[in-house]
Amino acid sequence: MRAKTVDRIATAVIVCVAGFIILLLAALLGYLLVRGLGHISFDFLTSAPQALKAGGGIGPQLFNSVFLLVLTMIITVPLGIGAGIYMSEYAKDNKLTAFIRLIVEVLSSFPSIVIGLFGLLVIVNTFGFGYSLLSGALALTIFNLPMMVRLTEQSLRSVPKEQKEAGLALGLSRWKTITSVMIPVALPSIVTGSILAAGRVFGEAAALLFTAGMSSPRLDFSNWNPLSPTSPLNPMRPAETLAVHIWKINSEGLAPDAPEIAAGASAVLVIMVLLFNLGARWLGRVVYRKLTASK
């Protein structure tokens, strides 16, 4: 009887905790959406912001966020997967690898504002990349790489030994076994890791203040030459992202409708993260099915 009572109490406590977390999340999401959704319109999503007048949009910021995400992932994913493969399959178990692993751990818990300052000193000033999308992408790479490496390493390690041996026993080289047997099996976890990394790119503001900058030049969306300074595709131009924009409007916005813009932009940001998550999961499933089950 006593064990049963304890079990009941424990279950009740756990259910309460879980319920509390869900409630908190729902409240937060509901608050953001209720306040912001009313402000979202096609015009809001596409027009440029206004400094002093009401009615400004978030078009360039939205584009910047997506573009910065793409740039960052182009740099982070290959580096992260490569390093993860090395750590799980090639690195010998010695003091050096243990040290590298420690560094990766430390790096993954670095405060993002410190990475922002590092980016300002090294990437923006010393390398001379200036306030630019590329600087921002590099800073976010530093921010995200440790997680990418660790997740890839863990997902490769969790591939059953039997699968790896099956590949090796067929006379495949180690590299071919990794790329054609192990990576497909590990893919779902690698995709999940990339989604987590991408979510952090969308939401990050501190690391970008000093690297991608807080302004966006006038963009000409009909100019797709990546070398032109007014082209949205130019990676060397400063670019204020949505998260940075929200921070700026809230702290120093002069437009009379600044609170509404901030609310609308926050809702857009949350929806973007959600859409991206769902999209990436769907893509991961499709790719996994292509690589594994029948065509």
Partner 1 sequence: MIIEIDKLQLYYTDFHALKNVNLSIPERSVTAFIGPSGCGKSTLLRTLNRMNDTIPGVRIEGKVDIQGRDIYSSDMEVEFLRKKVGMVFQQPNPFPKSIYDNVAYGPRLHGISKKSELDAIVEKSLRSASLWNEVKDVLKKSAWSLSGGQQQRLCIARALAVEPEILLMDESTSALDPISTTKIEELTRELCQNYTIVMVTHNMHQAARISDRTVFFLNGEVVEASDTQSLFSNPVDQRTEDYISGRFG
Residues of this chain that bind partner 1 (CB under 8 A): 92-93, 160, 162-163, 165-166, 168-173, 176, 180-181, 184-185, 291-295
Closer CB to partner 1, residue 51 or residue 169?
A: 169
CB of 181 to partner 1, least distance (A): 6
Element (H, E) at 114: helix 112-118
In the chain, the amino acid numbered 263 is A
Rounded CA gap, 92 and 125, in Å?
A: 37
Q: Please, is 175 exposed, middle or buried when counting C-beta atoms within 10 Å of its C-beta (0-12, 13-18, 19+)? A: exposed
Under 8 Å CB-to-CB from 77, ≥6 apart: which residues?
Answer: 148, 194
End-to-end CA gap in the chain:
55
Secondary structure E strands in 89-218: none
CB of 119 to partner 1, least distance (A): 39
Closer CB to partner 1, residue 164 or residue 237?
A: 164
Closer CB to partner 1, residue 90 or residue 221?
A: 90
CB of 174 to partner 1, least distance (A): 9
CB of 280 to partner 1, least distance (A): 21
Secondary structure E strands in the chain: none
Element (H, E) at 215: none
CB of 15 to partner 1, least distance (A): 36
Rounded CA gap, 89 and 106, in Å?
A: 22
Rounded CA gap, 98 and 273, in Å?
A: 35
CB of 160 to partner 1, least distance (A): 7
